[in-house]
Amino acid sequence: MFAPRYSGLATFMRAPVAQSLADVDIGILGIPYDGALTNRPGARHGPREVRNQSSLMRAINHATRINPYELCRVADVGDVPFQSAFDIEASHKDIAEFAATLVAADVMPLSCGGDHSVTLPLLRAVAAEPVALIHIDAHTDTWDSFQGSKFNHGAPFRRAHEENLIDPSKTVQIGIRGAQNVSEGWDYSEQAGMRVMFIEEVQQRGIAAIVEETRKIVGDSPVYLSFDIDSIDPAFAPGTGTPEVAGLTTAEAIALIRGFRELNYVGADVVEISPPFDVGGVTALAGATVMYELLCVLAEARGKR
Ligand code: MN
Ligand code: MN
């Protein structure tokens, strides 16, 4: 940690490369896959650029004073290896198998995507029973098929609900916005019993009230947190596939995550960072910082287990 931050291999957070899973509590992995996108491409390049920007992260959180590296053994466990990148379902199988090896070794996954379709196979690996879900995104991602595939990046939480991987009564979707051609996704979430918090509600009630209600819904159930970078306003995070203006500020996003301390985490991810659409690395830096804040809350929860 005390070597110059621009030197050495660009692992996530400058964590060591895992030599074995036996001595790892939290494994940070890259998922360089964007074969399920419906619009602007490039999220396959997310992990490499987030690794680069994450070398700016340091150890002690100035607000919470959490030092994740004192609480847990953190390592970069590498990227999911893909065998059939042109086949979405085969690629999802590769992701689920890689994540399952982590879960089997009692390693909590903190993933960097990749498009949002990757969260479905991650949930298949971590959800031994239906888990609670905190989903921060401009989109509910509960749409159905697009261009012949029901595994596109607009559908992971609909599939997760159908596969009984998430408990809809303990699912909260935060920051939803942007016009649609059909209301089907919003309707699906609400009819399934998920709590959908549109951005106007977040802005009117404020982060503290959103955190309080979300914590009540999630309780002490095993919970997964999925963070789509497009939840953040494109003024702060332009490098993403389906940007929607009038979103969260980076400060609001970080305040949300700090509000979700001491939950019963099973894992988390940050997805949809597209470096080819980024400007000066600002989106990858926002993504790396969100991952660091998630690492702090995951390490605190894991350290107390
Ligand atoms: Mn999404
Ligand atoms: Mn989105």
Please state the separation of Cα 189 from the chain's center in Å: 19
Q: Which two three-digit tokens encode residue 231?
A: 């939840």
Contact status, residue 109 vs residue 29, Cβ threshold 8 Å? yes
Q: Give me the pLDDT at residue 303, please.
A: 87
Q: Mind listing the domains of the chain with CATH numbers?
A: 12-303 (3.40.800.10)
Q: Measured in angstroms, how far is the CA atom of residue 67 from the centroid of ligand 2?
A: 30
pLDDT, tens only, 33-82: 999 999 999 999 999 999 999 999 999 999 999 999 999 999 999 999 99
pLDDT, tens only, 143-168: 999 999 999 999 999 999 999 999 99
Ligand nearest to the CA of 175: 2
pLDDT, tens only, 73-109: 999 999 999 999 999 999 999 999 999 999 999 999 9
Q: Which two three-digit tokens encode residue 217?
A: 């819904």
Q: What global pTM score does this model have? A: 0.98
N- to C-terminal Cα separation, the chain: 26
Please state the φ and ψ torsions of residue 24, each to the nearest 5 degrees: -120, 130
Q: Measured in angstroms, how far is the CA atom of residue 271 from the centroid of ligand 2?
A: 9
Ligand nearest to the CA of 244: 2
Q: Which two three-digit tokens encode residue 290?
A: 């969100």
Query: Does residue 29 carry a pLDDT above 90?
Result: yes
Q: Is the peptide bond before 114 cis (omega within 30 degrees of 0)?
A: yes
Number of Cβ within a 10 Å radius of residue 246: 13
Q: Which whole number is the average pLDDT over 24-32?
A: 98
Query: Does residue 305 carry a pLDDT above 90?
Result: no
Ligand nearest to the CA of 113: 1
pLDDT, tens only, 122-143: 999 999 999 999 999 999 999 9
- Does the CA dihedral 161-170-25-237 come out positive or negative? positive
Strand-pairing partners, residue 131, are: 166
Please state the separation of Cα 211 from the chain's center in Å: 17
CA distance 146 to 151: 8
Q: Is residue 286 classed as helix, strand or coil in its secondary structure?
A: helix
Q: Measured in angstroms, how far is the CA atom of residue 17 from the centroid of ligand 2?
A: 30
Q: Which whole number is the average pLDDT over 172-190?
A: 97
Q: Which two three-digit tokens encode residue 115?
A: 């498009």
Q: Give me the pLDDT at residue 304, please.
A: 75
Ligand nearest to the CA of 39: 2
Query: Does residue 232 carry a pLDDT above 90?
Result: yes
pLDDT band at 176 (very low <50, low <70, confident <90, very high): very high
Ligand nearest to the CA of 237: 2
Alpha-carbon Rg for the chain in angstroms? 17
Query: Does residue 2 carry a pLDDT above 90?
Result: no
User: Comparing C-alpha atoms, which of 200, 199, 198, 120 is closest to residue 161?
Assistant: 120
pLDDT, tens only, 235-265: 999 999 999 999 999 999 999 999 999 999 9
Q: Which two three-digit tokens encode residue 292?
A: 């660091």
Q: Measured in angstroms, how far is the CA atom of residue 119 from the centroid of ligand 2?
A: 12
